[in-house]
Amino acid sequence: MLIRKSISDAHHTALEEIAGPGTWLDGKTRNQVILESRHSKDCALCQSRKNALSPYAIDGLHDAVSDLPTDYIEVIHRISSDSGRLTQSWFNRLRPEMPAEVYIELLGIIACGVIMDTFAEGTGQELSPPLKARQGEPSRITNPNVIDAGAWLPILDVKNVPSNTGLPSTPNIARALGLVPTAIDLFFKVMRKHYSLSDMEFDLSRGQTEMLAARVSSLNQCFY
């Protein structure tokens, strides 16, 4: 199968990084995030909520495959299975027990894992197992360079200028994980190999690419 080396290399690098200590989570926990995210498809509660008119009308416990805290599992399963119906009220209920930085690190790993797993499923390949977790303490370095821009959490503070794409030089999506800069690095190390505003080597026209992007965004009920 003609899978581009740039993509398979990026996925392998991401799995290596996930298996090591992050900024707020250790390698074992980060690997468990990948496994829990995958398992959300088989979770009865997630399926009930997904099929419900309102996911907030269904209570219960998630089927977990790890010993992660229950609030981590709620975040991982909900974002993986039904992110389009998340609201700020849901997010606020998670706090203050879950530090914003931990939430962001979880989110970055979930999103990275979703890309890798969706690609594997779409190409008919087996899902890659997480790599062996490496020992080590999270750095716990906070990033003060963030700003309130109207999202649920502060995002990266940057000086923006218009670019030739008509978008700001650093659009909000590149700033969203700003509380944990290593999460930005991890996520875009993978994402950049799947999509770029310019210099893509894909055998698709720009129109075909943007049509797919827009359709998937719509299926995910994504306003951004």
Partner 1 sequence: MLLRRSGDRTQTSFNLGKLTNTSSLDIGIANEATLLTLADAIVTGSKTMIQTARENAFSELGEQASLDAVAVIAGFNGITKVANGTGLPLDPETHNSTVAMRTETSIDQYSESNKLQTWG
Residues in 164-223 that interact with partner 1 by CB under 8 A? 165-168, 171-173, 176-177, 187, 190-191, 193-195, 197, 202-223
Work out whether the CA dihedral 33, 214, 185, 121 comes out positive or negative.
positive
d(CA 72, CA 69): 5
Binding-site member from 86, 127, 131, 158 for partner 1 (CB under 8 A): 86
Near partner 1 by CB under 8 A: residue from 150, 159, 198, 199: 150
CA–CA dist 189, 7 (Å, integer): 10
Q: How far is the CB of 124 from partner 1 (least distance, A)?
A: 6
Amino acid at 108: G
Residue 135 Cβ vs partner 1, minimum distance, rounded to whole Å: 28
Residue 99 or 136 having the CB closest to partner 1: 99
- Helix or strand run (H / E) with residue 156: strand 155-156
Q: Which residue has the tokens 């849901």?
A: 90
The dihedral through the CA atoms of 196, 199, 200, 205 has a sign that is positive
- Smallest Cα–Cα separation from 41: which of 84, 7, 80, 92? 80
The one segment of 15-23, 66-74, 133-141, 162-170 that binds partner 1 by CB under 8 A: 162-170
Q: How many whole angstroms from its chain centre is CA 72?
A: 14
Per-residue binding letters, 101-140, with partner 1 (x by CB under 8 A): ---x--xx-xxxxxxx-xx-xxxx----------------
For the CB of residue 189, give the shortest distance to partner 1 in the complex, in Å. 12
Nearest residue (CB) to partner 1, 27 versus 113: 113
CB 186 within 8 A of CB 14: yes
**Nearest CB to partner 1, comparing residues 61 and 211:** 211
| Cα separation, 151 vs 176, whole angstroms | 8
Q: Does 79 bind partner 1 (CB under 8 A)?
A: yes
State which of residues 7, 19, 94, 98 lies at the interface with partner 1 (CB under 8 A). 7
Sequence-ordered strand ranges (E) for 90-150: 146-147
Task: Tell whether residue 99 is a contact of partner 1 (CB under 8 A).
Answer: no
Site residues for partner 1, window 21-50 (CB under 8 A)? none
